[in-house]
Amino acid sequence: MKKLVFLSVAMAAMMMLSCGGNTHQAEREEDTVDVNDLIRDHTLYGLCAAIPSTSQLKVITDVGDTVTLDITPALENRKMLGSVKVGDRLAVMTNKNQTMATEVININLLLGNWVMPDPLDGSDEIGIRIKEGGVAESIEMTNITYRTWRIFNGKLEITSIREGGEQAEETNYFDILKLSADTLVYKTIDKPQDEEETFEYSRWREKEQPDLHGLKLEEHQDEYMKL
């Protein structure tokens, strides 16, 4: 009888240890972070198919799915970057179920030539040209050559080469603060506080020529005026 009691107690203890081990293993699995998940782009790309209401967007994704998104979170957090119309190409951050949009970026508005006064003297305009296909170019800049761009997990990623030194390619990430037909504002992220920068661009417009009422300016032929 004593042997049976001892065996029962031993088996119960083994079962408890086994369950405890499984519990700890499950906890460890929950705490484990997939490294690949940290470098995976979770942005949803597609075309705006319809705007059912002021708080909804219907998007046809690049893989052919049609999703209807509640954009209330994006509106409340000022992450509705650019007004949207049917046919616009969008980059959207969503929840896991792809039912709610936390950020909406209008790629059509992002493309183009963006300039600001040269910080050195303000006499010229410098900036960045954002083109289709992920191509980026510098506008009237001698110290930085922009090369590529993309949206990565809701952030603007830009690669460039800084002239001088080793001329190594560098990648910077920016948080888009404002995007409209005429304005682009973004701020550096993942930088020390003393290296943070905010870039405020306006869309480049060809400057209007003065109206001379039919008159033409002639070059002066005086040799002294050519000096």
- Residue spans per domain, the chain: 44-109, 111-203
Contact between residue 125 and residue 133 where contact means Cβ atoms under 8 Å apart:
no
Residue found by looking up tokens 């080793």 in the block? 166
Cα radius of gyration rounded to whole Å, the chain = 29
pLDDT score for 17: 44
pLDDT score for 26: 44
Instruction: Quickly name the fold that domain 111-203 has.
Output: Lipocalin (2.40.128)
Is the pTM value of this prediction over 0.95? no
Closest residue by Cα to residue 188 from 170, 161, 166, 167: 170
User: Going residue by residue through the chain (227 aa), what tens digit of pLDDT does each one get?
Assistant: 444 444 454 555 455 445 444 544 444 444 554 555 557 999 999 999 999 999 999 999 999 999 999 999 999 999 999 999 999 999 999 999 999 999 999 999 999 999 999 887 777 899 999 999 999 999 999 889 999 999 999 999 999 998 876 678 899 999 999 999 999 999 999 888 877 899 999 998 866 655 556 666 555 454 444 44
CA distance 84 to 71: 12
Q: Which CATH class is domain 44-109?
A: mainly beta
pLDDT score for 149: 98
